[in-house]
Amino acid sequence: MLRLTVSEMNPSSQAGHGGRGRRLLGYSSIPHITVFIAVLLSLSCSTTHYRESADRETYGIIKEKSPAVPGMSKDFTIETEGETTALNALLEGLPRHDTSEEFLGSDGGGEKGASILSLEQALRIAVQNSRTYQNKKESLYLEFLGLTLERHNYTPIFSGNASGHVSGDPRLVDQASPFTESMAAAGGIIGQIETLTGTSADLLRGYADVVTEAGAVAEWDQASTKIQHDRNTSGQTTIGVEQLMKGGGRIAVSLASNFLRFITGDPRVSAESALAASFTQPLLRGAGAKVAAERLTQAERSALYALRDFTRFRMQFTVDIVSAYYNVLESRDVARNNSQSYGNFQKSVDRQRAFYEESRETKAALGRLEQAQLSTENSWTNSVRSYRQNLDRFKVQLGLPADALIMLDPAELDTLRQKGLQHPDIPTEDAVKVALQARLDLYNERDRVEDAGRKVVVAANALKPKLDLAAGVTIPNSGDDPALGLDLNRASWDVGLDTDLPFDRKAERNSYRATLIANEQAKRNLSLSEDTVKLEVREGWRNLDQARTTFEIAQKGVELNQRRVEEQDLLAELGRATALNLVDAQNDLTSSQNELVSALVNHTIARMTFWLDMGILYIKDNGQWEEVKDDRST
């Protein structure tokens, strides 16, 4: 901001005015004050203006760089006010659960009236409301906000300042007495009295001398000493512009002027101005765009890295939300299976107790079933507690209050069962090749190797001696001319070279050696990252293949154990079943049912993670992922 201070002119402005101090601002200066205030108001900007300006420029750069990053969100923003309204509208528009689930026991009534959240809606809420997601967006914004300053440094930068000062200096002044002044005045008019009255001037002077001597005797002629305050004023304004060139050159132009004539409107105030321009260009150290613009180059590349990191974060974020969503549904399904198992054991115990009362069953066999019933009841209550805890954690993960009345849509798990396994049919080595070409984090590592090589060049340049070409010109005005009446005839200029001798280069030497080491480390990091990607893809494929095998085994296990339970139930009706076989068959059925759900969920998450490892899991703005269509699914 340009700040101007009102003050009086220098001491010379008081000369020729009888020593009278003039007012700082007079009536004639009011129009000038109006202009002065208008300038200040025009330079005063609200905080809203600055915020909107920062957003406009930052979002513009993000939009400019986004096409270079596949999968980057098209409509990036960190604003949340409208999203909160949209979230409330979404929750209010969800269907409600109007029943109480018996398999949840005493917690079953807690789901009555809850909003049913589908997977798509959960992803949309997570993108809008997740604290982690919002923090990542703001970190990306701040990275690009810093880039706006680096770009600004290479644009014309205007500056202005003004100062005004008023000072007072006291001094002692001897002042003649009124008697002395009167006698001096009388001596001056003696000639006039002689002309008017005809009295001799000598006689009148004699009388005056007598009166003067009498006054001297009476000490009427004693001078007095007074303190007089001299007020000095000064004022200066400077307006300049500076341009930093990407080749290392710097151009600066400034206009310095006494600005008080404009403020006060007093023509008696002199206006002294000078226009100065300078140019500096490094010839050795700091010369060249690669060296001089290194900070800007690195800021541009770091912003691109942040964009890639955020895009990959969005992939991982979607996988995490989907995984958590299905895990909640899985724990709910486990609670249902355990509840059914508990109910089946209750029936078996009641039947065996009846047989025992008829002496058709031993007490030991009945006790074994009763113990299994207690264990199953404990597993059931634990699974209900686990489900409620997982649901509460998922609410927080979405950014919802922990006491929000929601439930996840069980139909999503049914849909997953209906689709079955969608197993990609792609050779592992082909998947590795795709990952090496598509992984955004690998792009960053490759670019960092280039960064490290560029920094070696910059550090080597710093070892050179300083040799700068410097030129300047100053054009003043004559003291009586207006403020901008520059006098080219009085211009002064200079051209020269600035240098220093490289006697001490210890710090530069160490920096150069460090960049060489950093360059080698960057190459090793890239090699390590490539190997890590290969391992992740192969491990992801093994996990996916293992999940398929586990699902197929669990599927067969469910079919087998269902037949076992049915067989044991028939034998129990005939009184020929053993307690051990009944317990084992029911426990194995419950376990295989839970394993089947877990295997189905694990395979789904493993498939998404496999696409993530390959770098081809593309995420929409609402958090939904796009399924890869070019695989030959089984």
Residues 616, 552 within the same domain? yes
Query: Is residue 122, in this structure, part of any structural domain at all?
Result: yes
What would the pLDDT profile of 72-85 be if each residue is shown by its tens digit? Answer: 987 899 988 666 67
Do β-strands 273-282 and 250-257 pair in parallel, antiparallel, or remain unpaired? antiparallel
Q: Which amino acid is at 69?
A: V
Residues 58, 191 within the same domain? no
Task: Write the DSSP assignment of 243-304 as a string of letters.
Answer: EE-TTS-EEEEEEEE--HHHHH--TTS---EEEEEEEEEESSTT-SHHHHTHHHHHHHHHHH
Does pLDDT of 253 surpass 70? yes
Does pLDDT of 11 surpass 50? no
pLDDT of residue 23: 34
Residues 282, 372 within the same domain? no
Does pLDDT of 99 surpass 90? no
Query: Is residue 631, in this structure, part of any structural domain at all?
Result: no
Query: Is residue 229, in this structure, part of any structural domain at all?
Result: no
Residues 487, 607 within the same domain? no
Three-class HEC string of 486-518? ECHHHCEEEEEEEEECCCCCHHHHHHHHHHHHH
Query: Is residue 633, in this structure, part of any structural domain at all?
Result: no
CATH of the domain at 593: 1.20.1600.10
Q: What dihedral do alpha carbons 125, 131, 132, 135 form, nearest 10°?
A: 120
What would the pLDDT profile of 516-575 be if each residue is shown by its tens digit? Answer: 999 999 999 999 999 999 999 999 999 999 999 998 898 888 888 778 777 777 776 766
* Structural domain boundaries enclosing 280: 1-44+155-169+235-288+466-501
Query: Is residue 632, in this structure, part of any structural domain at all?
Result: no
- pLDDT: is 400 or 262 the higher one? 400
Query: Is residue 228, in this structure, part of any structural domain at all?
Result: no
Residues 210, 282 within the same domain? no
User: For the chain, give me the number of helices (H) and strands (E)?
Assistant: 17, 10
Residues 28, 145 within the same domain? no
Residues 190, 80 within the same domain? no
pLDDT of residue 568: 73
Q: Give the chain's mean pLDDT.
A: 81
Residues 64, 195 within the same domain? no
pLDDT of residue 198: 65
- pLDDT: is 589 or 512 the higher one? 512
Query: Is residue 36, in this structure, part of any structural domain at all?
Result: yes
What would the pLDDT profile of 196-219 be if each residue is shown by its tens digit? Answer: 666 666 666 776 777 777 777 776
Residues 197, 284 within the same domain? no
pTM of the model: 0.79
pLDDT of residue 204: 66
Q: Which of 443, 474, 501 is the last residue of a domain?
A: 501
Residues 62, 200 within the same domain? no
Does pLDDT of 3 surpass 90? no
Confidence of residue 260 (pLDDT cuts 50, 70, 90): low
Residues 250, 191 within the same domain? no
pLDDT of residue 487: 77
Closest CA to 318 of 506, 502, 490, 122: 122
Residues 594, 480 within the same domain? no
pLDDT of residue 408: 94
Domain tally for the chain? 3
Q: What percent of the chain has pLDDT over 90?
A: 42
